[in-house]
Amino acid sequence: MKRLLSLLYGFCVFIRNWLYDKGICQEHTSDIPIISVGNVAVGGTGKTPQTEYLLRLLSEQFKVAYLSRGYKRNTHGFVLADDTATDASIGDEAMQIHIKFPAIPVAVDEDRLHGIALLQQQIPDLQVVILDDALQHRQLRAGLNLLMTRADNLYVKDYFLPYGRLRDSITTANRANMIVVSNCPRDLKPIDKRLIEKELHILPYQQLYFTSIKYGVPYPLFPDSVNSANSKLDGSNNKSGAALLTGIADSKALYEHLRQQYPDIRVFSFADHHKFTKKDLDLLKYRNRIFTTEKDAARLLCMSELSEQMKARFYVVPIEIEFLDKQQEKQFNNKIIAYVTESNRNS
């Protein structure tokens, strides 16, 4: 049954892309540099850490803004994040960005064209927009497209939903200028890189990059609730009774990372973007250390059901991407900066 549904889904995707490719449905461009970070598979490809990398890189030289659709928010239309923003008003991923980059304008809008127009109207000196998860948004053609794919689950080896995890055709990759293979082992051998490049059928105008995950030092989610005696996490205390609470696409790598210091850690894993409930929290009441991700933290911050005692147990594990090759990293940075510089010069 799933195979049949996948065929039907794939046929609908083909028709939609064909309408745009033939010009029957119109694509639009913008007069401002737009960088899209997307994928052709659902969840877990590292879009958000890659987006954060771009925001850090570009905010040093340019006025940059972030725009997403605000998946699973309770609002509609254009919303520009402010001090009252919550995961319910802008979505958990946008809220994560807003928390980490308070000086960068963060907005959500289902209609990306409309969202960009309003961002330009409200921020006259805007120089570049980072679009989250917009590779499938054919109505708007970004100036630079980044496609994310996991090293352990390349999109060319996958199938359409619901049999597989593909939500778009693998030919969508042809619209990408840069393809980033994420979640790579740090010791990925040159021969393995060449095999991946061959499997992905990299085109002459595309650049291929390899990145891995880098976990930072856990920090308190609610620092005001943590006293100094409990704030240090060096692995020497509380090795038992730890828990990992997640509502993301894949928590295996984070679990393996934490298990090195907390051998008895227990995982409480829910579906991606899961809205935690009091019932979920009750499962954790006997755990003296609760680790979670930054995306999950964006949802937990606004939960009224959390007691002060429970708040003191929550720690966030930050995640960043790291290029396997420093020369590749330099090349990547230069291409991104050159695109934004040139586009602003020509506008």
| Claim to verify: residue 223 and residue 209 sit in the same structural domain | no
pLDDT tens digits, 71-111: 989 999 999 999 999 999 999 999 999 999 999 999 999 99
| Claim to verify: residue 160 and residue 267 sit in the same structural domain | no
In this prediction, residue 240 carries a pLDDT of 53
pTM to 2 decimal places = 0.93
Flag whether 161 is in a domain.
yes
In this prediction, residue 286 carries a pLDDT of 87
In this prediction, residue 100 carries a pLDDT of 96
Please tell me what DSSP assigns to residue 183.
Answer: S
Flag whether 223 is in a domain.
yes
Flag whether 187 is in a domain.
yes
Q: Are 247 and 271 in contact (CB under 8 A)?
A: yes
| Claim to verify: residue 11 and residue 40 sit in the same structural domain | yes
| Claim to verify: residue 6 and residue 46 sit in the same structural domain | yes
| Claim to verify: residue 243 and residue 194 sit in the same structural domain | no
Total structural domains within the chain: 2
Flag whether 199 is in a domain.
yes
| Claim to verify: residue 284 and residue 335 sit in the same structural domain | no
Residue type, 301: L
| Claim to verify: residue 205 and residue 336 sit in the same structural domain | yes
Write down the residue that tokens 């960088």 correspond to. Answer: 35
Flag whether 336 is in a domain.
yes
pLDDT tens digits, 216-247: 999 999 998 876 445 454 444 444 589 999 99
Of 150, 185, 156, the residue nearest 172 (C-alpha) = 156
| Claim to verify: residue 229 and residue 284 sit in the same structural domain | yes
In this prediction, residue 227 carries a pLDDT of 66
Residue type, 132: D
Q: Are 105 and 98 in contact (CB under 8 A)?
A: no
Query: For position 178, which CATH number holds?
Result: 3.40.50
Flag whether 173 is in a domain.
yes
| Claim to verify: residue 180 and residue 235 sit in the same structural domain | no
Residue 233 to residues 256, 291, 313: CA-CA distances in angstroms? 17, 11, 11
Of 258, 261, 329, the residue nearest 291 (C-alpha) = 258
| Claim to verify: residue 226 and residue 312 sit in the same structural domain | yes
Sites in the chain below the pLDDT cut of 70: 227-240, 347
Q: Tokens representing 173?
A: 């990759």
Residue 66 to residues 54, 203, 243, 271: CA-CA distances in angstroms? 10, 28, 32, 25
Query: What range does the domain containing 297 cover?
Result: 219-317
Q: Which residues, in sequence order, are bridge partners of residue 66?
A: 106, 130
Flag whether 157 is in a domain.
yes
Q: Which residues, in sequence order, are bridge partners of residue 246?
A: 269
Residue 164 to residues 2, 96, 156, 183, 207: CA-CA distances in angstroms? 9, 28, 11, 19, 26
DSSP letters for 199-258: HHT--TT-EEEEEEEEE---EESSGGG--TTTS---SSS--SSEEEEE-SS--HHHHHHH
The helix-helix angle for 92-100 and 47-59 (nearest 10°) equals: 30
In this prediction, residue 1 carries a pLDDT of 80
In this prediction, residue 42 carries a pLDDT of 84
| Claim to verify: residue 176 and residue 308 sit in the same structural domain | no
| Claim to verify: residue 253 and residue 342 sit in the same structural domain | no
Flag whether 162 is in a domain.
yes
